[in-house]
Chains A and B, each alone.
Chain A
Amino acid sequence: MEGKKKSKRGTLILTIFLAIIFLLPFYIVLTNSFKTQKGIFLNVTGLPFGKFFTLENYVNAFKELDFVHSFFNSLLITIVSTVLIVIFSSMAAWMLVRTKSKLSSFLYFLFAAAMLIPFQSVMLPLINLMGRIGFLNRGGLIFMYVGFGASLSIMLYHGFIKSIPVELEEAATIDGCNKFQIFWYIIFPMLKPITVTVSILNAMWIWNDFLLPQLVINRPESHTIPLKMFYFFGQHSKQWHLALAGLVIGMIPIIIFYILAQKHIIKGVTKGSIK
């Protein structure tokens, strides 16, 4: 009994320690976003009080980021890419599961193997190619996101769809559904938990991504929030107070999305792995 109590206490202490490590960056970002630049340099870890406390960072960051436009760009690219990833990956995974052939096994292996290739090793030839076919714009970026997002999403869907009995599809065939109707009316609604997981994983990655948009989007009016953030880090000076306020503004939408869908992501991960 005594040993059990001790180990419980040990686990609790470890959990608190890890939580502090994980939450520390959030604390620093949040507290320093309310400080003047001088206040940040004088005391990074302290709370924003007195003459160093300011709300102006948010007003200025909002203006400098051209937030309405960059927010719209981020939202457009994230939503369209995620929706396309969900539709194409779920359909592809369904066909890969239900088609028992060497080709389908090879294709599945190809998708799985693609996850092992680091983005940095393909980015230069990719951008070169995309530039030649006129794809260095928002449309091209979405196209590339669908490609990069497909591997993991197909893997997740594949694992889940394998647990769906094929009799459901046969029942739907007898009920008068064609292939597309079987997918749309029967399979896709059943994929809801894993679709939420796939959506969250992809939306978070796409929303926060910096490198690919940086390489693809040249026109400033098409810039996303992470790209605009880069303006705060000049060659000679770094406007930490604005950058941190900008970070908070940029984080809020995806955090809200995560909180709303959090219940489903846990359910989705469990279902995908256990079922």
Chain B
Amino acid sequence: MSNVVLKGVEKVYPNGFKAVHGIDLEIEDGEFMVLVGPSGCAKSTTLRMVAGLEDISGGTISIDDKVVNDIPPKDRGIAMVFQNYALYPHMTVYENMGFSLKMKKTPKNIIDGKVRGAAKILDIEDLLDRKPKELSGGQRQRVAVGRAIVRDPKVFLFDEPLSNLDAKLRVHMRVQLSQLHQRLKSTMIYVTHDQVEAMTMGDRICVMNLGKIMQVDTPLNIYQYPANKFVAGFIGSPPMNFMEGEIIATNNNIKIKIKIKEVELKLPLDKAKNLKDHIGKKVWFGIRAEDIIIGNSDGENTMKGKVKVIEFMGSEAFVYSQMEDEEFISKVDFLEAKDLKNGSECFFSINMDKCHIFDYDSEKNISLGLKIKGEFDV
């Protein structure tokens, strides 16, 4: 068992700034957990506290059911891969990879076996005699991962390891790291600000903002059932469209609509049920770009907008449009978009089954009705 449990973990800097606000997180044995969030959301600080590189101001961190608050990094059974690789420039790849074992006074033959074993897994056997400066970015990254593997850790910690690579190499390394996880079946905690990495690599994703956990769940659940406006806006590309609206009840019956500017959109029954208590209140209406379809006529749940910019992405296109002063993006098929022109007016049909309604003040998702997995706090 190499689970990692964070209970009420806090980080307060000497100047009084509270970076981490008592977070609770359980990472299961063998799980690939991705901590994702914007810059300054304390995801790296949290990882560094697990590593023992930052002191913990409050709460406990346990690895393998053992509280490690006061245990030095080398004895926590962790290995870390840094954003800038942190390879020792004066040592060869072989020496870099074997350094931790050398520090432990491991016999040379065992070091040799482990280094060559890790090099074989990562396909860097022919690089062992080179210095880091003689390697490409991708090769350096693999050496950094190799250095972690050699330690045979209980938990792998990755701190934005792919952010220094170019886009193509990043995709390649993403796949390699996922394969490595499947092969080693070790617990891995991976920090990134890139939501694509989070969505593609994680067994579960922990979305963080301002030192708090916003939501912890599987990538698909996070995408489909965002717990709050922040998660909804952060996960997904292009980001979810938000518009200010108001819940209104019409004709004294159970139909509930949402009013955005002069447009009234009819909520489906299941969502309407959950929003009974919010009639007359201001809300945030959220809809993903792919759930706005270009229509021809002014039917139900349709709004009229003026096309401002069209971005062709290959098989699909992003259409940036405006309705009065509200801007929104729709993701449409290339064939649908090619006839559109900048400045032309058209109707956009909203798939209301996929919409989300967020409380105006707390920004929590009030339209889901089902219990959202994980913890979140706004």
Question: In the bound complex, do residue B103 and residue A176 qualify as a contact, i.e. CB atoms below 8 Å apart?
Answer: yes
B92 at the interface (CB under 8 A from A): no
Q: Specify which of B74, B86, B100, B147 is in contact with A168 (CB 8 Å cutoff).
A: B86
Which A residues are in CB contact (< 8 Å) with B99?
172, 175, 185
Question: In the bound complex, do residue B88 and residue A174 qualify as a contact, i.e. CB atoms below 8 Å apart?
Answer: no
A167 at the interface (CB under 8 A from B): yes
Question: In the bound complex, do residue A189 and residue B90 qualify as a contact, i.e. CB atoms below 8 Å apart?
Answer: yes
Stretch at the interface among B75-83, B179-187, B234-242, B299-307: B75-83
Whole-angstrom CA separation of A181 from B88 in the bound complex: 13
Question: In the bound complex, do residue B78 and residue A174 qualify as a contact, i.e. CB atoms below 8 Å apart?
Answer: yes
Question: In the bound complex, do residue A174 and residue B90 qualify as a contact, i.e. CB atoms below 8 Å apart?
Answer: no
Which A residues are in CB contact (< 8 Å) with B83?
167
A:127-173 near B, CB below 8 Å: 165, 167-168, 170-173
Count the B residues whose beta carbon is within 8 Å of the partner chain — how many?
A: 22
Q: Which residue of B lies closest to A192 (CB)?
A: B90
B:208-250 near A, CB below 8 Å: none
Q: Which residue of B lies closest to A181 (CB)?
A: B103
A:189-234 near B, CB below 8 Å: 189-190, 192
Which are the 9 A-B pairs with shortest beta-carbon distances? Answer: A176-B103, A175-B100, A167-B86, A176-B74, A171-B86, A189-B90, A167-B82, A174-B73, A168-B86
Main secondary structure of the interface of A (DSSP, over half): helix
Whole-angstrom CA separation of A177 from B72 in the bound complex: 11
Q: Specify which of A170, A181, A192 is in contact with B86 (CB 8 Å cutoff).
A: A170
Count the A residues whose beta carbon is within 8 Å of the partner chain — how many?
A: 17
Question: In the bound complex, do residue B82 and residue A171 qualify as a contact, i.e. CB atoms below 8 Å apart?
Answer: yes
Question: In the bound complex, do residue B90 and residue A190 qualify as a contact, i.e. CB atoms below 8 Å apart?
Answer: yes
A186 at the interface (CB under 8 A from B): yes
Q: Specify which of A167, A176, A192 is in contact with B100 (CB 8 Å cutoff).
A: A176
Question: In the bound complex, do residue A170 and residue B100 qualify as a contact, i.e. CB atoms below 8 Å apart?
Answer: no
Question: In the bound complex, do residue B82 and residue A170 qualify as a contact, i.e. CB atoms below 8 Å apart?
Answer: yes
Q: With both chains docked as a complex, state the minimum distance between the C-beta of B5 and any C-beta of chain A, in angstroms.
A: 20
Q: Which residue of A lies closest to B90 (CB)?
A: A189
Question: In the bound complex, do residue A176 and residue B86 qualify as a contact, i.e. CB atoms below 8 Å apart?
Answer: no
B51 at the interface (CB under 8 A from A): yes
Q: With both chains docked as a complex, state the minimum distance between the C-beta of B155 and any C-beta of chain A, in angstroms.
A: 12
